[in-house]
Amino acid sequence: MLTARGLFQEIIDNDEAYQLFCSIAASGEQQGGWENGRIAALVPESRRTLAPKIARHGADEDKHGRIFQALLHKRGLTRIEAPPETDYTMILEREGIGLPHGKLRGQEPLTERDIIAYLAHSRVTEQRASDQMAMLITCFGDHPEVGRAVRMIGDDEANHLAYCHEELLRLAAAGHGRTIQALLRESALAEIAVYRDVSLAVMSRMGRILRWPKAKSAALAAAIHAVYAYERLVGWRRMVSLRMPERRDALGGAPTTAVEFA
């Protein structure tokens, strides 16, 4: 029977698969760190109070990239380039979700709508990240090699999701509710399709590395398509709801470091 624990255990136990997994994760986290850093630098005057929180978000993402690189180093492995078809962040950008990198590389301040779009996109993608890390903590939170890493990253992702909820609710109360809901729905529907495609690409590469039989690869692909069908029908609604989080001002303090891990 296929289980998440069993699949990830296979990946952890194989150096080549583990190298690919950590490299893809490090690339995505560091890309997110750069994006948040640029957004923090370009926040419009009307929302300058958000800049430190956005910068904290970016610092956390950079830290996660360093953690994945440290995991590779501990195994005696080097980071490899993530295959383009597995680049979740860049594929989302090509789909028009989030802020274009061309705009982030410039010097023009962002607009208030840009900040709303950033937070709506982040609320959706951080839901995915938080859910994935919660699963990994359940399966591997006590693992001697990766347990501390997944617990640390999982706590940060929960903070990021809480921050998105809180800030979007503030903006909704300021009169941006309809814009927020439209952007959330657009982001969620695009994200679930990108997540399906990236998941298929990653599992295809893992299958070749781990020499999975065709039946196993076909079953995994069918499961990924089934998740997409559910999310496309009703599951996306969970990604667009907003509620005041238990963790208030989750990104209001100084960022933690990965020193104790690395």
Q: What confidence tens digit (pLDDT) does each residue in 129-184 have? A: 999 999 999 999 999 999 999 999 999 999 999 999 999 999 999 999 999 999 99
pLDDT at residue 257, as a whole number: 61
Cβ(124)–Cβ(184) below 8 Å: yes
Percent of the chain with pLDDT over 70: 96
Q: Which residues of 185-219 are buried (b: 16+ CB within 10 A; e: fewer)?
A: bbbbbbbbbbbbbbbbbbbbbbbebbebeeeebee
pLDDT of residue 262: 45
Q: What is the pLDDT of residues 44-66, one digit of tens each?
A: 999 999 999 999 999 999 999 99
What digits encode the pLDDT tens for the residues 205-239? 999 999 999 999 999 999 999 999 999 999 999 99
DSSP string for residues in 66-123: HHHHHHHHHTT----PPPGGG-HHHHHHHTT-S--HHHHHS-SPPPHHHHHHHHHHHH
Helix (H, G, I), strand (E, B) or coil at 225: helix
Cα–Cα distance between 173 and 188 in angstroms, integer?
22
* Amino acid 254: pLDDT: 60
- Quote the pLDDT of residue 241: 96
Residue 81 pLDDT greater than 60, yes or no: yes
Q: Any idea which residue has 């657009």 for tokens?
A: 186
Q: How far is Cα 51 from Cα 167, in angstroms, rounded to an integer?
A: 12
Work out the average pLDDT over 189-193: 97
The pLDDT value given to residue 116: 97
Distance, in Å, from the CA atom of 60 to the CA atom of 163, rounded to the nearest integer, reads 13
Q: Which region among 116-125, 194-203, 252-261 has the lowest average model confidence (pLDDT)?
A: 252-261
Contact 64, 29 (CB under 8 A): yes
pLDDT for 1 equals 64
Distance CA 176, CA 242 (A): 13
pLDDT for residue 249 is more than 50: yes
Give helix then strand counts, H and E, for the chain: 9, 0
State the amino acid at position 178 in one-letter form. Answer: R
The reported pLDDT for the residue numbered 98 is 86
pLDDT tens-place string over residues 20-44: 999 999 999 999 999 999 999 999 9
The C-alpha angle 250, 37, 163, rounded to 5 degrees, equals: 20
pLDDT of residue 2: 78
pLDDT at position 255, please? 61
Predicted confidence at residue 30, as pLDDT, reads 95
CATH topology of domain 4-239: Ferritin (1.20.1260)
- What is the C-alpha separation between 158 and 133, in angstroms, rounded? 9
What is the per-residue DSSP string for 164-209? Answer: HHHHHHHHIIIIIHHHHHHHHHHHHHHHHHHHHHHHHHHHHHHHHH
pLDDT at residue 97, as a whole number = 87
Expressed in angstroms, the distance from the first to the final Cα of the chain is 35
- 13 falls in which pLDDT band (50, 70, 90)? very high
